[in-house]
Chain A
Amino acid sequence: MIGSVLGWLLDPEHWRSTPFDTGIWAQLGAHVGFTLIALAIAVLLALPAGLVIGHTGRGSWLVSAANAVRALPTVGVLVLLVVVISPHFYGRTNAGFLIPTEIVLVVLAVPPILSNAYAGVQNVPPQVRDAAFGMGMTGPQVLGRVELPNALPLIFSGFRSAMLQVIATATIASYVTLGGLGRFIYDGLAQKDYPQMIGGAVLVAALALISDLLVALVQRYAVSRGVSRRFRTDTGPDSRTAVLVEEDVR
């Protein structure tokens, strides 16, 4: 089995697109595309909101409300939205599938980013905030120069958690006949072409692992050593930290 999966993955024909089949490169591009769009929207919505709620202490109900979304089954919401929205776009483009998918992806990505930005700012030691104001920083300066840099580990953790959920859910989106690497899993299943199905799963796993690694690298350089304590033998927060933070906030 492993041999035939490798065979499927290493066949250059499978990477190129043909008039009949979309190749791995194209599906990978589509997958990364959905993911980036959803993450960009989610970050634009959730990061400023989380930072401001954490800074002012007002509106934390919004964080709790966003976290309640976690109890919803992703697949169910995805299917429901596709069924609700797609008839309005029938026959024109794949927007009928793209829009519900992006909505679900954004809905999933917002809670970890929001609650981690909020918790990150809230967790800044009160005496640090006190000193910042006491030295004559204005509110925005305190947020930008002190609270944000100290909240970065949790913000990154939330972003990584959001990114992994988006990559995973974008895979499932292929189930509602959208492109992306999930296509190979569901097509392979339908055609009983198991090397293709397993090969697709390998690609999805690799995409998730590599993306997480890249963000972890950015995190390493973006976060001050004084905050990450990289002079100690501690591993910093990762995507698991984020889900636990959400639990805390709830």
Chain B
Amino acid sequence: MSLTFIGGIHPRENKNAKDKPIELLPPPESIRLSMSQHIGVHCTPTVAVGDHVYKYQCIGKITSGLGVPVHSSISGTVKEITKSVTPDNVEKQTVIIENDGQNTPDPSVRGFDGPLSELSAAQIIERVRDAGISGMGGATFPSYAKINSAAGKVKHLIINCCECEPYICANYRLMIEDPDAVINGAKLLMKALGLRRCDIAIEDNKKEAIRLFTKKLSGNQMFTVRKMKTKYPQGDERQLIFAIYNVMIPQGKLPADVGCVIFNTETTAAVFRAVAYGIPLCERIVTVDGDCVKEPKNILCPIGAPLSDLVDFCGGLVKPPKKIIFGGPMMGQAQWDIRSPVSKGTSAALLLSASATTEYEHRSACIRCGKCVGVCPMHLMPTYLASFSRTYNFDMCEKFGVMSCVECGSCTYVCPGRVPIVQLIRSAKVRIKENRAKKS
């Protein structure tokens, strides 16, 4: 039996790149590195225009506060340091580096000499921080901070290999092509957290990955492979913990408050590479898919590479896209530029035509079918929340639990009246937060 939660949806999986091995992107002519690809304070550039940088060289540092450094993913010359609007639609400082084609690695990058078991927890955390690792599933929370806040407090480590969004298969390819990196990364995380056990949660549509991990880990007392039902949002931390341990995270609390900590598959592999080889996070796997792309692919690409290079590598466009999305179609962010750079949290780039993507309609009307109530993984009543929000009745929104909403969009996906439910809920949440701030 696969483990799961109550509610949720099952959109068409569309994982067209599922059987495509990971390919390496040809070196881009230039890259654009945003100084903030994570949650927290922005980095300060440590290079100036005209400087030569090595591959893996740190080019942006955190002076104080929460955050991780940024590293160059190519060797070359700093061409420009400018303010530009990044994929998450906020103006940030951006370093543009021109490729010299040499791919010279930073000579100071060195792996750990000696067996990894000799590393202390503090050493692992330090290496994870210096490697600039933040959550690669899309949330981009700095990983070292997550380990620090969870160490000593949690009992369960979960490696999240659910990948419940349609189209994306970057994690799946990583799992079957480099399972050892994931397993070793998990071992390092266990060491850093002081844990002896780890759950690997894989959705049951990734049969090959489940088979491989079960085989590799058979007889290993530390690991448990958990088969999860293929359903969106199975990868959401609240639903994942509920499905495995039958525990609900109280509203406003974090997984660590119920003794759990969750890491994404690719983050885990990045932890291994950073700790063992000293390689910072400056490459990631991106699934390029969508009906406008000639050949969907999983591409290992330098962070900062423009999407147009990835699209070229996939054979170009077969029709003009209506929407370009970084991330999955349920949670991803729409882009306005095909040259948008890949960042640490970009798990997929989707180029969808008008027929593959649907907008809400201005003529939408709720028919009170209650389908949203059935699919809400947070057990809310989205139909009422939307109509209260529409009439600015924020008190009722709060009474109906609007602040519990995780904005997964399941209600909006399923709505036959095409009501922009999650958008209305979001605006209610913003207003309520504003009002609370005003009061205090």
**Is B truly associated with A?**
no
User: Which residues of B approach A to under 8 Å, CB–CB?
Assistant: none
